[in-house]
Amino acid sequence: MAMTLLRILAAAFITILMLGSPASAQPARDLFGEMHQPAAGPEMVIGSYAKGCIGGAVQLPTDGPGWQAMRLSRDRRWGSAELVQYIESLAQAVGQDGLPGILVGDMGQARGGPMASGHASHQIGLDVDIWLQPMPNQTIPASERESLSAISVLKAGTREVDPALFGEAQRLLIYRAAQLPGVARVFVAPGIKRSLCAINWRDRSFLGKLRPWYGHDDHFHVRLACPATSQSCIDQSPVPAGDGCGADLDYWFTDAPYQPSTSPPSPPLTLADLPNACTAVLRAN
């Protein structure tokens, strides 16, 4: 009887922590950052890329045929089964091009959700960062995976690629990444997109998926579309028609996108800001 009462009180305490007004103001990044095991049960991709979570996530192995994961201490090697399969497929595809493999950066947390640093998205197990430098032939020691830095492929002080750092290997890597099934967007530095637009590709359709964005000069960010089985997943709008190599890209070579924002920073997301189902994901065994 006493043990049952203790269990009831413990459950009530957890509920108050997560749903009561003090917890409603607690940053969700703190709650999700403390979770290092996935929520049990089938895969559930919930919400949008920058406001959601995932149940039943899968962890990418540290190393595999054609890939090595970086920054292991962050514990951000989690994602949907579709994302893990995508990484495996990309590693296999670049191997066919003669590349040794890929270096995998951040995916998501064990239960998704906001992160303490680095990303506004990556919350629902459908995003992954891939480094632009090819994987070395030897296994990188765990300590070096924490200290080794991704290398920018831009000319210093410019928005243009450096041909010495961005060559055929990087072009083929991005091409393969965008061509695989399920890809909704690939975020790259504007200079990378411009250099790829300049090539006379036989099929230019993949270029439309390449979206110029800040900070993607040493890696690119792949975003998968919502799995058909996840009814609670919210897709982005489809990319505009065309290859995106015209005026929209030219805008990124003006000063306008880089002006400091005059708006105050948004407060961190709380659990109340996320879909209701994320509370269940957070509380699950």
The model's confidence at residue 266, banded by pLDDT at 50, 70 and 90, is confident
The model's confidence at residue 48, banded by pLDDT at 50, 70 and 90, is very high
CA 261, 267, 268, 274 torsion-angle sign: negative
- The answer regarding whether domain 58-256 maps to CATH 3.30.1380.10 reads yes
The model's confidence at residue 285, banded by pLDDT at 50, 70 and 90, is confident
The whole-number pLDDT of residue 23 equals: 54
As a whole number of angstroms, the distance between CA 4 and CA 125 comes to 36
Write the DSSP string, 125-157. S-EEEEESSPPPSSPPPHHHHHHPPP---BPTT
The whole-number pLDDT of residue 8 equals: 31
Strand, helix or coil at 199?
coil
Mean pLDDT of the chain: 91
Tell me the mean pLDDT in the region 96-112: 95
Residue 43's nearest CA partner among 82, 80, 77 is 80
pLDDT at 184 over 80: yes
Residue 244's nearest CA partner among 215, 205, 271 is 205
* Contacting residues for 90 by C-beta, under 8 A, at least 6 apart: 102, 130, 176, 177, 180
pLDDT at 10 over 60: no
Q: What is the DSSP letter of 110?
A: T
Contact by Cβ (8 Å): 210, 178 = yes
Contact by Cβ (8 Å): 54, 45 = yes
Write the DSSP string, 73-87. GG---EE-HHHHHHH
Q: What does the block give as tokens for 172?
A: 């083929």
Q: Map tokens 């020691």 to a residue.
A: 141
Beta strands in 169-248 (DSSP E): 183-188, 210-212, 219-224
Report phi then psi at 236, rounded to 5: -75, 165
